C-alpha cells in the first residue's frame, strides 16, 4: 500500500508536467489547427534562459529562485509572441502542413542553438523545494513531487480563470471557435494567435523548469516529455483542454504504476509503452477519451 501511494504521488508530479505541456499543445491546436512541434524545444530554451538568469550575474547580481521563475515566465511569454509574429505569421496564408513544417524548423533551430550556446552537456538545475520527504502513515511523500504538482496545477488554474473570466479570454475562445465570425465582431484574431503562442510558451516554461531538476538540463530534455504530453493530449481528446490535463495526469500515474509493479518495463520502455497506449486509444476511440467527433461542413 505504501508502495502504491508513493507511485501515485510520483506519477502525479510527472503527470502534471505532461499535463501543462499537453495543455500548451491543445491551446495552439484549438486556435489554428497547427501542432507546434517546437513546443518542447521552446520549453527547453526558456529553461536554459532561467538557468542563465540563475547562475550568471546580470547587472551585477544573480536572481534567487522565485524572482528568476517569474522573470523567466515573462521572457517566455515575449518569446512565444515574438516567434509567432516573426516566424509563423508570414505563413498565415499557407497550408497547415507548411506551418507545421515551419514549427519543425523551429524545433531544430532551437535545439541547435541551445547546444551551441550552452553546450550539450547535462547541467544541474535547482529545485525550489527541499529533497526531504513527509512521512504520513508510513508513506514517504517527496516534497519536490508535491511542489511540482502544486506549481504546475496552479499555473493551469490561473490560465483557466483567465480564459473563463476575462474579456480577452473570451475573445480568444471566440477566435478559436470561429475565426471569421470573431474577426467580423471586431476581434483582432491575428494578435490573439500571438497571445496564444505566448501563453503556450509560459506553460512550456513551467513544465521545463519543473522537470529540469530531476531530468537535468540538456538540449534534448523535452523530446520525450513532448511525446508524453502529446500522448496525454490524445488520451484526453485533442480538442479538450480539461481532457489534456486529465490525460497528462493519467498517463503520468499509469507509467509510474507500470514501472513500480511490472518489472519487465524498464525506464527504456516508458516511451514505447506510451506510444503503444497512444495507438491503442486511437484504434478504440479515435477522438480520445474526452473528445467529440467533429463533423465538418464542406
Partner 1 sequence: MRRVPLGFLGFAALVVAVVVTPLLSTHYRTFQFAFVGIYLIALLGLNILTGFTGQISLGHGAFMGIGAYVTTILVVDHGWNNLATLPVAGIVTGAAGLAFGLPATRFAGPYLALATFAIPLAFIGLLKRFPHFTGGTLGKQLPPLRSELGLDTNPSLWIYIVSWVVALGMFAGAWLIVRGRFGRALRSVRDSEIAAEANGVSTARMKTLAFGISAFFCGVAGGLFAMAVTFVNPDTFPIDLSILLLVGVVLGGAGSLGGMVFGALFVEFIRITWGPALLDLFSRVHHINTRAPGSSLVVYGVVLLLVLYVAPAGIAGLVRRLATGRRSVAAWAKPHATPAQDQA
Interface with partner 1 (CB under 8 A):
29, 33-35, 37, 87, 90-91, 93-98, 100-102, 104-109, 111-117, 119-120, 178, 219, 223-224, 226-227, 230-231, 234, 238, 266, 268-272, 274-275, 278-280, 282-283, 286, 292, 294-298
CB-based contacts of 125, cutoff 8 Å, min separation 6: 47, 50, 51, 209, 212, 213, 216, 217
3-state DSSP call for residue 140? Answer: strand
Q: Give CA–CA dist 35/141, Å, rounded.
A: 36
Give me the least distance between CB of 117 and partner 1, in Å please: 8
Q: Which has the closest alpha carbon to 234: 246, 221, 219?
A: 246
Q: How far is the CB of 218 from partner 1 (least distance, A)?
A: 11
C-alpha distances in Å from residue 143, one per residue of 59, 125, 127, 259, 290: 33, 17, 11, 21, 31
**Measured from the CB atom, is 157 or 185 closer to partner 1?**
185
Cβ at position 37, least distance to partner 1 in Å:
7
Decide whether 92 or 161 has the Cβ nearer to partner 1. Answer: 92
* Shortest CB 100 distance to partner 1, Å: 5
- Reading the block at residue 181, the C-alpha cell is 465570425
Cβ nearer to partner 1, comparing 143 with 285:
285
Residue 284 and residue 278 in contact, taking contact as beta carbons nearer than 8 Å: no
Task: Give the shortest CB-275-to-partner 1 separation in angstroms.
Answer: 5
| CA-to-CA separations, 228 to 7, 186, 244, in angstroms, rounded | 17, 38, 11
Please tell me the distance from the alpha carbon of residue 286 to that of residue 298, in angstroms, as a whole number: 21
Nearest distance, CB of residue 283 and partner 1, angstroms: 5
For partner 1, which is the closer residue by CB, 30 or 129? 30
Strand partners, 223: none
- Residue 12, all three cell numbers: 502525479
Nearer to partner 1, 56 or 297 (CB): 297
Shortest reach from residue 208's CB to partner 1, in Å:
18
User: Rounded to the nearest 5 degrees, what angle is found at the Cα of 37, between the Cα atoms of 34 and 39?
Assistant: 100
Considering the complex, state which of residue 184 and residue 280 has its C-beta at the smaller distance from partner 1.
Answer: 280
Closer of 43 and 73 to partner 1 (Cβ): 43
Amino acid at each position: 500500500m505504501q508502495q502504491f501511494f508513493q507511485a501515485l504521488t510520483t506519477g502525479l508530479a510527472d503527470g502534471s508536467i505532461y499535463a501543462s505541456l499537453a495543455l500548451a499543445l491543445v491551446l495552439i491546436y484549438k486556435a489554428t489547427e497547427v501542432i507546434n512541434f517546437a513546443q518542447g524545444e521552446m520549453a527547453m530554451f526558456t529553461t536554459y534562459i532561467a538557468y542563465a538568469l540563475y547562475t550568471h550575474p546580470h547587472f551585477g547580481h544573480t536572481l534567487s529562485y522565485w524572482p528568476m521563475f517569474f522573470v523567466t515566465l515573462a521572457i517566455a511569454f515575449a518569446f512565444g509572441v515574438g516567434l509567432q509574429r516573426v516566424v509563423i505569421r508570414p505563413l498565415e496564408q499557407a497550408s497547415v502542413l507548411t506551418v507545421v513544417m515551419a514549427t519543425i524548423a523551429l524545433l531544430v533551430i532551437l535545439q541547435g542553438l541551445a547546444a551551441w550556446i550552452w553546450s550539450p552537456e547535462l547541467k544541474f538545475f535547482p529545485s525550489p523545494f527541499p529533497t526531504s520527504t513527509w512521512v504520513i502513515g508510513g508513506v514517504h511523500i517527496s516534497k519536490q513531487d508535491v511542489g511540482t504538482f502544486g506549481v504546475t496545477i496552479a499555473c493551469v488554474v490561473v490560465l483557466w480563470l483567465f480564459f473563463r473570466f476575462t474579456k480577452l479570454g473570451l475573445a480568444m475562445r471566440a477566435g478559436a471557435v470561429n475565426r471569421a465570425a470573431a474577426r467580423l465582431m471586431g476581434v483582432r484574431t491575428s494578435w490573439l494567435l500571438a497571445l496564444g503562442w505566448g501563453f503556450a510558451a509560459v506553460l512550456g516554461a513551467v513544465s521545463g523548469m519543473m522537470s529540469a531538476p530531476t531530468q537535468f538540463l540538456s538540449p534534448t530534455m523535452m523530446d520525450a516529455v513532448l511525446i508524453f504530453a502529446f500522448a496525454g493530449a490524445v488520451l484526453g481528446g485533442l480538442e479538450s483542454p480539461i481532457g489534456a490535463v486529465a490525460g497528462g495526469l493519467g498517463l503520468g500515474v499509469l507509467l509510474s504504476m507500470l514501472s513500480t509493479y511490472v518489472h519487465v518495463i524498464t525506464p527504456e520502455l516508458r516511451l514505447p509503452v506510451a506510444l503503444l497506449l497512444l495507438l491503442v486509444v486511437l484504434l478504440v476511440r479515435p477522438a480520445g477519451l474526452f473528445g467529440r467527433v467533429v463533423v465538418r461542413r464542406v
